[in-house]
Amino acid sequence: MKPYAFGIDLGGTTVKCGFFKNDGSLIEKWEIPTIKDNGGVQILPDIAAAIKGKLSERNVSPEDVEGVGIGVPGPVLANGVVNGCVNLGWGVFNVAEELSGLLGGIPVVAANDANVAALGEQWKGGGEGHQNVVMVTLGTGVGGGIIVGGRILAGGHGAAGEIGHIQMRKDETAVCGCGKKGCLEQYASATGIVRMAHLALKEERKLPSLLDGKEITSKEIFDAAKAGDDAALGLVDTLGEMLGTALAHITAVVDPDVIVIGGGVSKAGQILIDAITKHYRTAAFHACRDTEFKLAVLGNDAGMYGAVRTVLNR
Ligand SMILES: [Zn+2]
């Protein structure tokens, strides 16, 4: 194997770039802005320029680069074709082929960003030492990635691991960002738990007293729950019920060794894990009832690590 590789995590506002040795150790990381003008035409040329710039700065020949892995915020097929990225203005094209062309033929592997984050956590994070990992990322939405046998499950449409859009409630009237109603992320994300708090207020249930006069954020809700506020505990329990039930469905299909919980909401820590596992253990098939839950450890670097792993593990 050649001595160096790059891991790129392409986000809606910044591109996180990592320059690695082929043993997976990080040499340097940096960021460049994501310029989304004109349908995002400049994004891949900017990434190619950043990679070439780093190679010349460090006096490394492109011949010594094993490959570039890139995580993209949209559905990506195993062959590198992205099936539209609404955030970036991208349609359908082969990201891997195009970036490789801009880099003079350095091999490129492209995958969905949540999936590469899951691969990063499986490789060097909360799932380290396990080959089969389900990761859930709880942020503005609910993202997910499924790693089977140490490899990303991309699926037939690049949409494997879209855990956030599992339908949980048929009676929901609010519309999810995906256009459906009753998706997991309408309840179990940072936005979801805040939405539920506002609904509880409307129904004149007891207000989380610790939230009086404060803007409601998911952190405030978890803090109030930790302080013993009944209404906040109820909101956290509902989030746990939604996630725990959805994960029980997922484990009945995938049966992972471990489930990793990441994203901003996971900073709530043990109270979140407890809320999820309480419902998970009652809903799960008996053989996977004791599946271990772990918190993610790589934070914002998970995507970069997972992206480079895709080229180091071809
Ligand atoms: Zn949805």
Tell me how crowded residue 213 is: count the other CB atoms within 10 A of its CB: 5
The pTM assigned to this predicted structure is 0.92
How much distance in Å is there from the Cα of 165 to the middle of ligand 1? 4
The pLDDT value recorded for residue 212 is 63
Task: Report the distance separating Cα 144 and Cα 132, nearest Å.
Answer: 14
Strand partners, 90: 85
Helix (H, G, I), strand (E, B) or coil at 91: strand
Q: Which amino acid is at 51?
A: I
Task: Report the distance separating Cα 281 and Cα 260, nearest Å.
Answer: 16
Q: Work out the burial of residue 153: count CB atoms within 10 Å of its CB; fewer than 13 is exposed, 13-18 middle, 19 or more buried.
A: middle
Percent of the chain at pLDDT exceeding 90: 84
Q: Where exactly does CATH 3.30.420.40 map onto the chain?
A: 4-120+301-313, 129-296
Tallying the residues shown for the chain, one arrives at 314
Task: Report the distance separating Cα 305 and Cα 308, nearest Å.
Answer: 5
What CATH architecture does domain 129-296 belong to? Answer: 2-Layer Sandwich (3.30)
How much distance in Å is there from the Cα of 213 to the middle of ligand 1? 31
For residues 253-265, average pLDDT = 96
How much distance in Å is there from the Cα of 189 to the middle of ligand 1? 12
**Contact assessment for residue 172 and residue 182, using Cβ atoms and an 8 Å cutoff:** yes
Could you give the residue ranges of the DSSP H alpha helices within the chain? 37-40, 43-57, 95-102, 113-124, 185-188, 190-202, 218-226, 230-254, 270-283, 302-312
**pLDDT for 7 beyond 80:** yes
The pLDDT value recorded for residue 308 is 98
Between 16 and 178, the more confident residue is: 16
The gap from C-alpha 30 to its chain's centroid, in whole angstroms, comes to 20
- 208-226 confidence digits (pLDDT tens): 555 666 678 999 999 999 9
For residues 165-186, average pLDDT = 94
Task: Report the distance separating Cα 162 and Cα 136, nearest Å.
Answer: 9
How much distance in Å is there from the Cα of 140 to the middle of ligand 1? 12
The pLDDT value recorded for residue 257 is 98
How much distance in Å is there from the Cα of 186 to the middle of ligand 1? 7
- 38-96 confidence digits (pLDDT tens): 999 999 999 999 999 999 999 999 999 999 999 999 899 989 999 888 889 999 999 99
How much distance in Å is there from the Cα of 185 to the middle of ligand 1? 7
The pLDDT value recorded for residue 206 is 61
Work out the pLDDT band at 20, boundaries 50, 70, 90: very high
The pLDDT value recorded for residue 314 is 81
Strand partners, 207: none
Task: Report the distance separating Cα 94 and Cα 124, nearest Å.
Answer: 28
What are the tokens at 2?
């050649």
Cβ-Cβ contacts under 8 Å for 226 (sequence gap 6 or more): 271
Between 263 and 204, the more confident residue is: 263
The CATH number for 4-120+301-313, chosen from 3.40.190.10, 3.30.1600.10, 3.30.420.40, 1.10.287.110, is 3.30.420.40
- 301-311 confidence digits (pLDDT tens): 999 999 999 99
DSSP 297: -
Instruction: Give me the chain's average pLDDT, please.
Output: 93
DSSP 242: H
How much distance in Å is there from the Cα of 162 to the middle of ligand 1? 9
How much distance in Å is there from the Cα of 98 to the middle of ligand 1? 30
Q: What is the strand order of the sheet 4-10 is part of?
A: 26-33, 14-21, 4-10, 65-72, 108-112
Helix (H, G, I), strand (E, B) or coil at 135: strand
The pLDDT value recorded for residue 205 is 61
How much distance in Å is there from the Cα of 176 to the middle of ligand 1? 5
How much distance in Å is there from the Cα of 301 to the middle of ligand 1? 26
How much distance in Å is there from the Cα of 5 to the middle of ligand 1? 35
How much distance in Å is there from the Cα of 24 to the middle of ligand 1? 35
How much distance in Å is there from the Cα of 184 to the middle of ligand 1? 7
Strand partners, 20: 5, 26
Work out the pLDDT band at 255, boundaries 50, 70, 90: very high
The pLDDT value recorded for residue 18 is 98
